A and B are shown apart, each in its own frame.
Chain A
Amino acid sequence: MTTMMDRPAATPGHSAPKKALIERLNIFTAFALGIIGAIVFYYVAKAILPANTDGSYIKSNNDQYVIFSMIGWFIGFMTGIGALIGPFRWLLGKDLNHDENMFYAGKDQGVKRYFRYTTDHKVVGIQYLVLTMIIFFVGGVLAMLIRTNLGHAGGGWLQPQTYNAIVGTHGIIMIVGTIIMITGPFGNFIMPIMIGARDMAFPRLNALSLWLIIAAVPCILSSFFLGGISTGWVAYNPLASQAPAGMDGYIMFICIFALSTMVAGANITTTVIKMRAKGMTWNRTPIFIYGVVASVALALPAFPVFFLSQVMSGMDRAAGSTFYNTMGGGSGWLYENLFWIMGHPEVYVILIPGVAALMEMAPVFTRRPLFSFNLAIMGIAGISGLSILVWAHHMYTTGWAPLLNGPFMLTTELISIPTGLLFLVLIGTLWRGRLWMTMPTASIYALLWNFMIGGITGIYLSDVPVDGALHGSMYVTAHFHYTLMGAGLTGALASLVYWFPKMTGRMFDKTLSWIGFWFVQIGFNIAFISMFFVGLAGQPRRVEAYAAMFSRGNMITTGGAYLIMAGMLVLLYGVISSWTGGVKAPMNPWFAKTLEWSVPNPVPLENFDVLPVVTSDAYGYGKAQS
């Protein structure tokens, strides 16, 4: 910071106070300006917007006030964090100079850089990690409320409206948490080092993508005070148009989050294409990179549609349009289509990086090369390509275009082929390897088990006649928890333990990682296997009360959920205790061959003194070629 002050003024006049401005902005000014912005926009909206007339489709002015306030919050927050300084300076023809850019990168700022609009990818990675943990904590508390309420038949202690709001918020916040859980922390911190780059292609966009999510989260949390999201995470219309003003929080949350995802997608994709180290051909690029790129590249077509669907939903609520209102010539099926055009690629956005991360770890912990690297890429590419053609399998039973059920069944079941390739790669790598048993190694096993169950139950559901019996039941809930949590989150937790030494400079406590692993995996399987059976027996999703025949299954699920909670708390304690007082990590604790292990701890500001040159892939374990 002193360097900023001592620097001789190169440009006279008003540039000096602007430099000081950069230094003054942080998360606190962001929140302050955000709140001021919300209040100002609220009163402006109240003053200038006309009162409703009976002829319009708008039910009340509340939605307009809430949406305007949140736009005010958003503008205030982004201004307060300093996101606009770069563009403004550029607009004025006074782009940031080198020292200012170094300040932006967090040079010599210690802990303070984590609370600023810092562009260093490692700072952004850590910020994402903490943000993901906060999101999972909130989502986890909501999950425990749901399971506690469902502990016994006939409804629990939550009011139906509260229960529905909790289910909806748990759903969407966990979806967002799982979307960012790998590409956020590890895609930002590890990925650029892994490809031998000094930073991301667009460091300011990187900071932008993070702070957009932080600006979005209060919108979704505020919905609890505005009546809640009582629609499930899908927020189908016309139910969403009936919902209280909490729905506007959902809409703004999604719009801002979609912006963040698009920005991050463009940034990460460009970084990987343009900034790999010399000699790192596509054949030598680690498989984790493929996973991250596939994930964020899929988000590029998916999230603009999500953004659009929510803009239209917000217009229906606040501006009198009728996109989804049958009475005004719209259709709820339009919403369902737009939603799932995002929604199906999105599950692979979550899943692929988790699997790819474990494929990255498999050679390290079996001391063998990755089996059939090309098939792994084909698998990832095949899933990504097909995943944009399968959305309407979520709509088999909606009655929309029954003639299309056959074709969508075909595309959906085709996905089983590239998915099978991922299994082949993992099992081929394990086969006859010398297992170095660590928590990530065990996670490979857990992934094979969970993803097998999630995958095969997906084949049942992809079959139209079977889906007629199972759609909308707890079977579906169990199925996607097996894929997103059983496979995706397992990969993310393994990534946490695996990359923790590089990110924090300390080893993750081994004992705690094992205790957490077993509690989570055992609890998870208890909870969700019994959920399959109540689903088969006919329990619908998203109900706060159920027939007595489902009691036993639900009680077991609730018990399993408490085990998961115990495991996650152990892991949380592990993160905190290892981060603050863990054993100092060596540079390459896993004896791995990817580039991120070739830089010292803590990783220096620009990662490499001399950019590395790559001459082989990172999987050259073992002694002889066969």
Chain B
Amino acid sequence: MSDLEAPKRPSVFERKDIKQTVYFWVVFTAIIGYAAAELQARSMGVSASETMSTTIHMMRVFTWVAAPIAGLVAAMAMTTLISKIHFGDTPPEEADHQIRNATKLSATWLIVSSVLCLFAVVWGTVVLQKDNAALLNPQAMNVNVTGQQWAWNFDYIDNGTVRSQDLYLPVNKPVVFHITSKDVIHGFWIVQMGIKVDANPGYTTETSATPNKIGIYDLRCAELCGLYHAFMQTKVHVVSQADYDAWIKSQGGQA
């Protein structure tokens, strides 16, 4: 019988090292899960779209799903570490038992990791489908984005011939971006909306978002594009529909 099976039978569970491991497992899972999930989610900052909120939520859930695995490995490592350490130039006396295999444990491990993997794939695919479907939304407004070394230009094609270097968007209105580049590859990235797609010379790529919070956000280039890549950033102004219409008119377009 293996020493590594899950603590089902009382005889195994009563063993000191198993108890210790279970205790560590619970504690480590809680610490790792909470620290990793919360610290990561919080440092992602403000969310200005549902896409970003979903992303933050996914990070949290993935972390909590992964935490018991990380916690188990850490707990087993810790139990070993605090029990029998030997320093010196010659090896310790060899243990009087051998474990070469633990079929049930290995099978459990395989099945659990496969299920977790499947969960991640299925959920990811569902969200991905939603993001893809948003590109086809007929209600969405369209903005053409052109990257060039080292600036962004935005054309509001639904509103006449308005062009700007800062991006203006009305709140709660779906928008589809059609992105291209004049020279090299740039990365169109609205940080707080969690969307990103490359601007490729000669091709048009698309992404979409629905900004859901009024405010000023960051748009950065995410693909090294030469000398002033670090400075190829601009602001995204998410404003109310009325403010947006006023801004469009002030730029000479029709709202």
Contacts and interface: CB of A to CB of B under 8 A. Distances in A.
A and B: interacting chains: yes
Contacts of A546: 230
A333 B255 CA distance: 37
Interface in A584-602: 589-591
Contacts of A160: 227-228, 230
The 10 closest A-B CB pairs, nearest first, are: A399-B205, A326-B202, A472-B222, A543-B230, A538-B191, A469-B194, A622-B98, A420-B113, A239-B184, A434-B92
A541 interface: yes
A463 B198 contact: no
13 contacts: A230-B226, A372-B100, A456-B66, A460-B59, A463-B62, A465-B51, A469-B196, A471-B187, A471-B222, A544-B230, A624-B97, A626-B2, A626-B99
A4 interface: no
A522 interface: no
Contacts of A374: 101
Contacts of B97: 432, 622-624, 626
A427 B128 CA distance: 35
Contact of B218 (A155, A465, A538): A538
Contacts of A622: 94-98
A537 B43 CA distance: 5
Interface residues of A, number: 93
Contacts of A532: 40
Interface string A321-336: 0000011000111000
A537 B102 contact: no
B189 interface: yes
Residue picked from A431, A532, A621, most chain B C-beta under 10 Å: A431
Contacts of A25: none
Interface residues of B, number: 98
A536 B95 contact: no
B229 A417 contact: no
Interface of B: 1-4, 17, 36, 39-40, 43-45, 51-52, 54-55, 58-59, 62-63, 66, 69-70, 73-74, 76-77, 79-81, 83-102, 105-106, 109-110, 113-114, 116-117, 120-121, 124-125, 127-128, 131-132, 179, 183-185, 187, 189, 191-192, 194-198, 200-203, 205-207, 218, 220-231
Interface string A431-442: 111111100000
Interface of A: 155, 160-161, 164, 230-232, 236, 238-239, 242, 326-327, 331-333, 364-375, 397-399, 402, 405-406, 409-410, 413-414, 416-417, 420-421, 423-424, 427-428, 430-437, 445, 448-449, 452, 456, 459-460, 462-466, 468-469, 471-473, 532-533, 536-538, 540-547, 589-591, 621-626
Contacts of B98: 368-369, 621-626
A366 B85 CA distance: 9
B220 A464 contact: no
A242 B184 contact: yes
Contact of A469 (B55, B124, B227): B55
Given A371-B100, A432-B95, A239 B43 contact: no
Given A238-B183, A469-B194, A413 B121 contact: yes
A547 B191 CA distance: 13
